């Protein structure tokens, strides 16, 4: 299935096929979600079948809205598709922009709406193995140390989020 995502070309949003967007490094819309609980953040390890950054640790989930889909609807949909997480209210934190080489000649140049949600104690993710190979709850301080010890184990965007936007993302958690 070809997924077309909102991409800026000549200053206007246009639907462009997802792989082409990354091959050309085009500026496009995205969402990132951070689920927290008791001072910990839920991370996912990307499935080995992903076409970029397989096997790397990332934030709870992230994706691109489909053409015509709202960013909040996209974030809610993707939490369910990847992690079986439903019914968690998401709070919009801000929109940020970054550009990162994700390997294999692919570039993420994203304008990202960041959402945060709090997961109740009695709820655990149910991973979709086509998307996610593992999850872990990590305290923010521990996560920063993990990245220092093994930076190649984390996605470029998670490193950017924690280095440049951590206060913005986790300000009220």
pLDDT digits (tens, 9 = 90+) for 42-87: 999 999 999 999 999 999 999 999 989 999 999 999 999 999 999 9
Higher-confidence residue of 62 and 173: namely 62
| pTM (2 d.p.) | 0.94
What is the C-alpha separation between 96 and 36, in angstroms, rounded? 20
Q: Are strands 106-118 and 27-37 parallel, antiparallel or unpaired?
A: parallel
Question: Torsion angle, CA of 152/60/77/14, rounded to 10 degrees?
Answer: -40
Q: Percent of the chain, pLDDT > 90?
A: 85
Q: 74: phi > 0 → left, psi -120 to 50 → alpha, else beta; which?
A: alpha
Of 69 and 171, more confident: 69
Q: Using alpha carbons only, what angle is made at residue 155 by residues 11 and 70, rounded to the nearest 5 degrees?
A: 40
Backbone angles phi, psi at 113, to 5 degrees: -85, 125
Tokens 């496009």, residue located:
28
Domains of the chain: total: 1
Domain span including residue 40: 4-170
Q: What is the CATH number of the domain that holds 144?
A: 3.90.79.10
Active-site amino acid positions: 62, 110
């Amino acid at each position: 299935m070809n997924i077309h995502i909102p991409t800026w070309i000549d200053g206007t949003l246009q639907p462009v096929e997802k792989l082409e967007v990354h091959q050309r490094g085009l500026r496009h819309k995205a969402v990132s979600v951070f689920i927290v609980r008791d001072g910990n953040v839920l991370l996912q390890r990307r499935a080995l079948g992903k076409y970029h950054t397989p096997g790397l640790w990332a934030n709870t989930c992230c994706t691109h809205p489909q053409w015509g889909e709202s960013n909040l609807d996209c974030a809610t949909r993707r939490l369910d598709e990847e992690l079986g997480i439903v019914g968690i209210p998401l709070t919009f934190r801000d929109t940020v922009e970054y550009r990162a080489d994700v390997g294999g000649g692919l570039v993420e140049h994203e304008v990202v709406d960041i959402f945060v949600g709090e997961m109740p104690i009695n709820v655990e993710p149910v991973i979709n193995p086509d998307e996610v190979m593992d999850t872990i709850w990590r305290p923010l301080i521990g996560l920063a140390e993990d990245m220092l010890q093994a930076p190649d184990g984390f996605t470029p965007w998670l490193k950017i989020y924690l280095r440049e936007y951590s206060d913005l993302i986790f300000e009220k958690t």
